[in-house]
Copies of this chain bind each other. A is one copy, B any other.
Amino acid sequence: MRDVYVIGIGMTSFGELWESSLRDLFVEAALAALDDAGTDRLESMYIGCMSSGLFVGQEHIGPMMADYLGRTPIPATRIESACASGGAAVRLAYLEVTSGVSEVVLAGGVEKMTDGADVTAALSSAADQEYEVYHGVTFPGLYALMARAHMQRYGTTSEQLAQVAVKNHYHGAMNPKAQYPFEITVKQVLESSMVADPLRLLDCSPVTDGAAAVVLASEDVARSVNGKPLVRVRASAQATSTIALHNRAEITHLDAVEKAARTAYQLAGMAPDKINVTEVHDCFTIAELCVMEALGYAEPGQAAALVEAGETRLGGKLPINTSGGLKSKGHPVGASGVAQIVELTEQLRGTAGDRQVSGAKFGLAQNMGGTGASCTVHILEGLS
């Protein structure tokens, strides 16, 4: 095993992108990442995508994307792990470079969600079709169960959930690629339509088209290409839990997140208090709280207090989702895990503009699928 570096990043704007097809989105992000990397060398590609089959009737997107990127005959493989597809694609690109099989590998993520498919039904295919979805539950419903349980166990309030969304929109308002780059208030969240009690519209991440891509490379290549600050992958970890929420011992505890995080801390040789900037999978506001607790950023039930105290806001001790997160930046499901790495790389290069976390050296990205049945955690280090 050898060290792996992020040498290029790119992403489309996130939003309802009526004029761009699935392949257009991917190619735009991948070309931007290759341009940023400053090298034409590319030996393999992984593309995270949850459900191009159900969304636009297209499977087999690996060779399609290699084709439209003008990169055949290199290997190109689609990776699917629901909303953790992007993180899983990054992990596989990491494996291919660390193994010594390839020097330069692209990991991309893409989703085209607004082309007319039944989005709620397609997303539900990330839950257990036979034991959850069959009975009518949807993802807002599943996360609402987690939220209600969290409220009951720990006294978490709707106001505290709203503050997560408010904080992420505060960050997203500074991200020109965000789908909803504007601030919102707690009052607006609490007055938005109820989706699945206690989750309201503004507790939920949106439906989004978009793509993101990163280029990973060996140290030799990283030191020879674009002269940009080096960003090293310190840890790549992945874990699973039960597919169905009802099979977990405690539905407010994301055990796959905890397991992936522990593995990542061990691989990186560091405790969570070393992390300067974090991107987490805030598909719903409750998710951000549960993830913070599973990452060891807070004791169970204590995450909301950190959010209330402003600690997870830019300028706080542990800024989370400076990109705007899934809530404000948008959530093209297969792309979100890759977009997290894009944001962290900007932060660790010191090029995040208004969103820059001063002196950021270590960044952590947490991406999950379903109700947390799959999770990837990556830790990056800026060497500038």
Contacts and interface: CB of A to CB of B under 8 A. Distances in A.
Interface of A: 1, 21, 44, 50-51, 53-54, 56-60, 62-64, 66-67, 71-82, 88, 91-92, 95-96, 98-101, 121-122, 125-130, 133, 238-244, 247, 255-256, 259-260, 369-370, 373-374
B54 A54 contact: yes
A243 B64 contact: yes
A68 B50 CA distance: 21
**Copies of the chain in the assembly:** 2
A53 B75 CA distance: 23
Nearest to A92: B92
Nearest to A374: B63
A63 to B, nearest CB: 4
Contacts of A240: 62-63, 66-67, 71-76
Contacts of A373: 60, 63-64, 67
A43 B243 CA distance: 18
Given A53-B54, A72-B256, 18 more contacts: A1-B101, A57-B129, A59-B82, A60-B80, A60-B369, A60-B370, A60-B374, A62-B88, A63-B374, A64-B243, A64-B373, A72-B239, A73-B255, A75-B238, A75-B239, A77-B81, A77-B92, A78-B81
Contact of A125 (B60, B66, B259): B60
18 contacts: A1-B99, A1-B101, A51-B59, A54-B59, A57-B121, A57-B129, A58-B129, A60-B125, A60-B126, A62-B374, A63-B369, A63-B374, A64-B243, A72-B242, A73-B259, A77-B80, A77-B91, A98-B99
